[in-house]
Amino acid sequence: MTRIFYFFILSLFALSSVQAQDESSNERVSGISYGSQMIDDNKTVDPEQNGEWRSGDYPYSAKPKDMWELGVNVGHSFISGDVEPQFLSGIGFGAHLRKAINYNISVRASVNYYSARGLDARPTGINVIKREKFYRQNNLGGRFEGVSNIHRSYKTQVWGGGIEAVINMGNILFHRPSTKWNFNIAGGIGFEAPTTTLNLFNGSSNYNWGSVTQGLNLTSKEDRKTARERIENLLDDSWETDGGVSNTIKALGDDKSIYPTFLGSVGVSRKINDRLNIGLRHQVVFADNDLLDSYEYRDAVDQSNNLDLLHYTSLSLNINLGSFDKRTEPLYWLNPLSSSLMDLAEVKSRPELDLTDTDEDGVIDMLDQEPDTPSGAPVDVRGVALDSDDDGVADYMDKEPFSNPGFDVDEDGVAIMPDPGYMTEDEINSLVNSKLDNIRTEWFLPMVNFDLNKYYVKPEFYGALHQVATVMNTHPDVKVLVKGFTDNRGNEDYNKVLSYRRANATIDYLVDRYDIPRERFVIQYGGEENTLIPELEDNHSLEKREEMQQYLNRRVEFYIAKPGDESMAEPDGPDAGEGTPGSSRSGSKYSGNRNSGY
């Protein structure tokens, strides 16, 4: 058994060493990151509450669903009692199940086997021994004729178990996201069922060991070691004498009793990865039992009761049970402050809004894609100089800003007309119609923006939609093209559905609020096409300034519809976006209150 114990210890240290070498390339196990506290909604006991917390509609996140821990242990056990324990007196082994109640308290149920031996090199007077229960129960009187002293020995085997409350002290961290070391203390109740035997005689059933201490000074450690060696040479290892059994405890059989116990322990655990950890623990088992070593008194002078305590120092290998797709590792490995500290750091890192508009074109520099537009030049919502007839000459330089379509223009933007210098009636009508269409493009309708993964209309854009409604009511023959867009997060099919729903939500608002016929709207969607702010490759870990800029990409634009503009059919794809504040499902398309996104 001793060889097994040492082999177990060496295996654990070897496993820990290999893991440490590979840790830099294996930071994640089954999708769980050491430094991340971002827990999917489906890994919590209340996914709806957790979704509301993530969106800012509820102050508390839901409790994570965490794993059970299964542990197996092996270690050294000994008894502190009336007889001096031998060095490496015994071995123990066992198993436990542990489940977290919260981040600091968990419950552990365990079952263990312990063994222990003791041998006293110092002689004890026979009169003291005659008072022991085992002496009377085993009828030993006739075997000790002429014996004045005896050397006490025992061998005890114990089955035990219990339930403990474990208080964890290693995962509340202010200066880093997680820990690889955990410290804990535990206390609980349990039972022990001991069996004790003694080896008092040699093969002739005699006890006459007066020569054991001859020539020795028993105050010397070396001489006591010599005395124990002499005793062991005289004994036959038959363990022929039963230990004492208390009559006040309900007995199970003739040679053992069950004792209620109190358990106390301290321990430390070292994380190997999100699945495995190793633990070192020292446990003390308290019971109203002075017979674990079978002796009630130490010597003739010290006749007071002395409770025998069982000690167990063990190493354990602990495994987290369950799927990382459905549960987190046990809560005592998670930092409960991580989410709050991360949110606080995010708020502190938000850049201050800079309203500087260097070229005074009405678009602030942080959103202006053409920050040096000449003074007075008309620009679009991106801050880019307008080119109404799309002839390559900006309006502020174009001497003919609405050139006849289909003709080349000179450097001043004037159409180069072919000979002869007159036009047919059809050409004149076509020119007039195109002029009217071009004039309508000067109506710069406002743009509506949306929070990340949302498609309801936010109250701050009700004024912008009022302007759209005013134009449509003033010009009842005008149709409006409504086109939705997203940023580049999510897959393409998802973004098409989301951009369609954004456009549809604004149309619903205008139809419901201003009684505008739906047939006057042309609905289209662009998904993540035609971004105002350039897309970023790593769009899931944006800096805060970049995230604020991406807010401009999540939008619906309005245009005066042109001949040939037609509505696009609703795209096929997954159920995308949230239609009401704090909701994870589609619903109402506009809201009475909402905080803005990035």
Residue 72: CB atoms within 10 A of its CB come to 15
Q: Report the alpha-carbon distance of residue 576 to residue 597 in Å, rounded.
A: 17
Considering only residues 528 and 3, tell me which one the structure prediction assigns the higher pLDDT: 528
- Joined tokens for residue 63: 């409790």
H or E segment to which residue 430 belongs: helix 425-440
Q: What is the pLDDT of residue 468?
A: 92
Considering only residues 134 and 72, tell me which one the structure prediction assigns the higher pLDDT: 72
Q: What is the pLDDT of residue 8?
A: 47
Q: Are 359 and 376 in contact (CB under 8 A)?
A: no
H helices present in 115-240, as ranges: 126-129, 133-137, 221-234
Q: Are 346 and 329 in contact (CB under 8 A)?
A: no
Token pair 């997954």 is at which residue? 574
DSSP-based three-state secondary structure for 277 = strand
Of the candidates 470, 473, 480, the residue with the CA atom closest to the CA atom of residue 562: 480
Instruction: Please tell me the CATH code under which domain 443-560 is placed.
Output: 3.30.1330.60
Q: For 61-101, what is each residue's pLDDT tens digit?
A: 899 999 999 999 999 999 998 888 888 889 999 999 999 99
The yes-or-no verdict on residue 306 having pLDDT over 80 is no
Q: What is the pLDDT of residue 169?
A: 87
Where does residue 3 rank: exposed (0-12), middle (13-18), buried (19+ CB within 10 A)?
exposed
Q: Are 92 and 8 in contact (CB under 8 A)?
A: no
Q: Report the alpha-carbon distance of residue 29 to residue 274 in Å, rounded.
A: 6
Helices 462-474, 492-514: axis angle to 10 degrees equals 60
When the pLDDT of each residue in the chain is averaged and rounded to a whole number, the result is: 80
Q: Report the alpha-carbon distance of residue 95 to residue 69 in Å, rounded.
A: 11
Q: For 543-588, what is each residue's pLDDT tens digit?
A: 666 666 778 888 999 999 988 899 999 998 888 888 776 554 444 4
The yes-or-no verdict on residue 202 having pLDDT over 70 is yes
Position 12 confidence tier, pLDDT thresholds 50, 70, 90: very low
The yes-or-no verdict on residue 504 having pLDDT over 80 is yes
**578 pairs with which residues across the strands?**
454
Q: Are 375 and 364 in contact (CB under 8 A)?
A: no
Residues 332-341 have a mean pLDDT of: 86
With a CB cutoff of 8 Å and minimum separation 6, the contacts of 73 are 92, 93, 94, 95, 96, 112, 279, 281, 314, 315, 316, 317
Considering only residues 147 and 319, tell me which one the structure prediction assigns the higher pLDDT: 319
Q: Report the alpha-carbon distance of residue 554 to residue 453 in Å, rounded.
A: 9
Q: What is the pLDDT of residue 183?
A: 95
Extents of the domains making up the chain? 2-22+30-37+65-271+283-333, 443-560
Of the candidates 150, 196, 133, the residue with the CA atom closest to the CA atom of residue 300: 150
DSSP-based three-state secondary structure for 554 = coil
Q: For 477-495, what is each residue's pLDDT tens digit?
A: 899 999 999 988 778 889 9
The yes-or-no verdict on residue 167 having pLDDT over 90 is yes
Q: Enter the pTM of the model.
A: 0.57
Q: For 422-441, what is each residue's pLDDT tens digit?
A: 556 666 666 566 655 544 44
Q: Are 544 and 350 in contact (CB under 8 A)?
A: yes
